[in-house]
């Protein structure tokens, strides 16, 4: 129970990495605000946490909207009295060839993946500063932000590169308040979103999903893709006491695809 008495907010927690992270933090003792644009998905994750005997709150929120971010933070504060941890996980993408990325694709991806992460980070940090007891901010980036070319599209990679830059600058400027800011860079992770992207890629190449999966795993040095729990385990560590002196870092969880 390394997170006993802590309050965490996890965005995009209705499925995939966000859901796994919310469950891991609850298992570690935290009270968790489960935020997702899909209200039913948020309620489902929250219900699983409640069944384990931990406190949870489901919040429907679109993190591309600053007004909804403000509401998400306010509802968490009203319910639990404080915020100690935020995991900025919500993100969007789809498989696109570089010449097919349009303005709408760029704006949609950056609205959530970059703008949303920044204002979630800023708003949570404001609460942490007011509390005067430090805090943890964990941004879910991607190895795409470090130049991995097997990404879904160039706009997505650019948005995740922005997350890495914001993480380092925020870590430096928030350190005086004892707020640690780190990023996690997942590699290939099996989620509904990644499966949809793989299906689109398979169709564009005229191959089967099985062939793509085999080729994918062959490129990963450790020989397997991530499960959402692999990312959640790192988020749990970075939220806990063992990471108290770690800040401004971007950790790859990718089976060795990108080794820096």
Decide if 148 is catalytic: no
- 248 CB neighbour count, 10 Å cutoff: 16
Question: Contact at 8 Å (CB) between 44 and 50?
Answer: no
Rounded to the nearest angstrom, the gap between the alpha carbon of residue 79 and the centroid of all alpha carbons in its chain is: 22
Of 233, 222, 207, 206, nearest in space to 259 by CA: 222
d(CA 92, CA 24): 22
Other C-beta atoms closer than 10 Å to the C-beta of 43 total 17
Please, which residues bridge with residue 35 across strands? 11, 59
88 forms bridges with which residues in the sheet? 139
Active site (catalytic) residues? 156
């Amino acid at each position: 129970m390394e997170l006993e008495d802590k309050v965490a907010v996890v965005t995009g927690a209705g499925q995939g990495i966000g859901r796994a992270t919310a469950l891991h933090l609850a298992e570690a003792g935290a009270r968790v605000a489960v935020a997702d644009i899909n209200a039913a998905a948020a309620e489902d994750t929250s219900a699983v946490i409640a069944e384990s005997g931990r406190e949870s709150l489901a919040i429907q929120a679109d993190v591309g909207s600053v007004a909804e971010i403000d509401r998400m933070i306010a509802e968490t504060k009203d319910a639990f009295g404080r915020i100690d941890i935020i995991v900025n996980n919500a993100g969007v993408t789809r498989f696109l060839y570089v010449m097919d990325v349009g303005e709408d694709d760029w704006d949609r991806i950056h609205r959530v993946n970059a703008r949303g992460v920044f204002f979630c980070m800023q708003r949570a940090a404001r609460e942490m500063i007011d509390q005067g007891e430090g805090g943890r901010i964990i941004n879910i980036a991607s190895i795409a932000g470090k130049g991995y070319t097997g990404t879904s599209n160039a706009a997505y990679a650019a948005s995740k590169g922005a997350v890495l830059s914001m993480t380092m600058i925020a870590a430096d400027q928030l350190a005086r308040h004892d707020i640690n800011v780190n990023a996690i860079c997942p590699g290939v992770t099996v989620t509904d979103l990644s499966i949809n992207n793989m299906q689109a890629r398979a169709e564009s190449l005229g191959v089967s999903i099985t062939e793509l999966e085999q080729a994918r795993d062959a490129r990963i040095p450790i020989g397997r893709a991530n499960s959402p729990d692999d990312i959640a385990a790192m988020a749990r560590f970075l939220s806990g006491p063992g990471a108290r002196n770690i800040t401004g870092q971007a950790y790859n969880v990718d089976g060795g695809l990108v080794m820096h």
